[in-house]
Amino acid sequence: MSHQARDLAASREHAPHRSMLLRMLVRAAILRRGRATSALFAMVVAAAVATAMLNLYVDVQAKLRREFRNYGANIILVGKNGASLPAEALARVDSVLAGHGSAAPFALVVARTADGQPIVVAGTDFDRVRQLNKWWSVSNWPSAADQVLVGVRALPLVSPKNQSFALNFQGKTLELIPAGTVQTGAAEDSRIYISLPEFIKWTGVQPSTIEVAASGSPEEVTAMMTQLSGTIPAADVRPVRQIMEGEARVLGKTRATLLAASALIILTAALCVLSTLMGWVFDRRRDFAIMKALGASGRLLNGFFAMEAAALGAAGAILGFLVGIGIAAWIGRANFHATVYPRFSVLPIVLVGSIAVTLLSAIVPISLLRRVQPAVILRGE
C-alpha cells in the first residue's frame, strides 16, 4: 500500500460513517438535479390532484346537503287527528336537533275580515321562520308584537292602503298593523302571519304543526324522526318526501359524476408520473451499467432503484398532499363559500398510491435493462 493510499484510508476513518446506499441515493438526486426535479414535480402534481379530488369527493356531500337545507323543512310534526301539539313540543324538538337544524311552530285558524270574508291567520315565531324558510320573499320583517306579515294576495283584501285593520275570531276582535308582505307563490300568499304569543292570547289555539329542517345524512334524519316520535307521542312525524328524495337523487348523481371525473383525472396524473419516471430511469442506464460492472448483484440493483422510486413517491405524495388540501380549500371557498376541511384519512391512500405508481414505473425499465450487457450500455449503444 502506497503512502498516499494509507493517508486516504486514515482520513476516511474519521469521516462520518454513512451507509453507501443512502449516499448513492442523495448524490444521485443532487447530481442530476434537473431530471430529479421534473420527476418530483410530476409526482407532486399527481398527488396534489388526487388529494384534492378525494378530499372534495368526501366533503361535497356535506356541502351540498347544506344547500338543500335551504329548501326548508324535511320533517313535519302535526298533532294526531288534527289536535294541537303539547306546549313543550318545540323545546323537545330543539333538544333532539341539538343544533343540527332548525324548527318553526305554526298555529292556524280561519278568521273573518271586517266585511265577513274568511281568511287564514297563522301564528308563528318570525325569527325561526326567517331561518327555516329562506326562500320567503318578505318586504319587511315585523319587529313589534302587534305588527304582522300579510300575504301578497291577501293584501288587497285586508289592507289595500297599507293601513291597520281588524280581524275577528269567534267574537274577539284584534287590531293589526301590517309590517310588510310575504310572497312565496304557494298557500302563504293568501295568509296573514302574526307572532305566536299574540296569536295564542287572541285565539287560545296552540300550534298544531312544527316544521323541522334536520341536517345530516338520510340515516341521521331517519334516526331523528324516530327520536322525535318517541319524545312527542302526541305528534305524527312525517318526512317531506319530495325534498328528501330530490336531495338523495341530486347528491347521488353529483357524487357519481365526481367519482368518474376523479378516476379519469387520477389515471391521467398517474400516467404522467409513469412516463416521466420511466424516462428518468432509462436515462440512468449508465449508472446502472457501472454498478453492474462493479459487481452489484441483481437484487442490490433492484433494491436500489426501488428505494429511490419509493423515496421519490413518498416525498412527492407528502408535498402533493399539502398542495392538494390547499386546492380543495380554495375550491371550497370559491364555489361553496365554506371551508373544505383537510381529510387526513386521504393521506395514506395517496401515499400508498404514489409509491405503487413510482415502483411500477421503476420496475418496467429496470427489467428491460437487466437483460442488456453492461458493456453494451457503456459503449453508448
Partner 1 sequence: MFVRLVYESFRRQQRRKLLAGAAITLGVTVATAMIAVATDIGDKINRELRTIGANLVVTPQEDSLDVELGGVNLKPPSDGAFLNEADLPKIKGIFWHNNITGFAPMLPVTAAVEHAGRRQDATLLGTYFAKQLKYGTEVFTTGVRNTHPWWKVSGSWPNDDSGDVLVGERLAAQLDNKPGDTLNISGRQVKVSGILSSGGAEDDEIVAPLSLAQQFLGKPGAVRRVYVSALTKPEDAFARRDPKSLSGAIYDRWYCTPYPQAIALQLTEAIPHSNATQIRQVSQNEGAVLTRIEGLIFLITLAALFASALAVSAAMATTIFERRAEVGLMKALGAGKLIVASVFFAEAALLALLGGIAGFGIGTVLAHQIGHSIFNSDIAIPPVLLPVILAIAVIVTFAGSAAAIRRAVKLDPVFALRGEL
Positions 177 through 236 that interact with partner 1 (CB under 8 A): 183-187, 190, 208
Interacting residues with partner 1 between 91 and 110 (CB under 8 A): 108-110
Alpha carbon of residue 122 to chain centroid: 37
Q: State yes or no: residue 130 binds partner 1 (CB under 8 A).
A: no
Select from 56-64, 218-226, 227-235, 352-360 the region that touches partner 1 (CB under 8 A).
56-64
Q: State yes or no: residue 141 binds partner 1 (CB under 8 A).
A: no
- In the list 95, 162, 226, 254, the residue contacting partner 1 (rule: CB under 8 A) is 254
Minimum CB–partner distance for residue 205 and partner 1 (Å): 11
Minimum CB–partner distance for residue 22 and partner 1 (Å): 27
Name the grid cell of 135: 326562500
- In the list 7, 67, 127, 220, the residue contacting partner 1 (rule: CB under 8 A) is 67
CA dihedral of 363, 369, 371, 372, whole degrees rounded to 10: -170
- In the list 51, 102, 124, 133, the residue contacting partner 1 (rule: CB under 8 A) is 133
# chain residues binding partner 1, by CB under 8 A: 77
Residues near 169 by Cβ (< 8 Å), separated by ≥ 6? 109, 111, 112, 121, 202, 203
Select from 42-50, 93-101, 217-225, 288-296 the region that touches partner 1 (CB under 8 A).
42-50
Closest CA to 309 of 42, 15, 12: 42
Interacting residues with partner 1 between 320 and 339 (CB under 8 A): 327, 331, 334-336
- In the list 72, 105, 123, 365, the residue contacting partner 1 (rule: CB under 8 A) is 72
Minimum CB–partner distance for residue 53 and partner 1 (Å): 7
- In the list 25, 36, 58, 64, the residue contacting partner 1 (rule: CB under 8 A) is 64
Distance CA 25, CA 145 (A): 78
Minimum CB–partner distance for residue 18 and partner 1 (Å): 29
Select from 17-25, 51-59, 287-295, 364-372 the region that touches partner 1 (CB under 8 A).
51-59
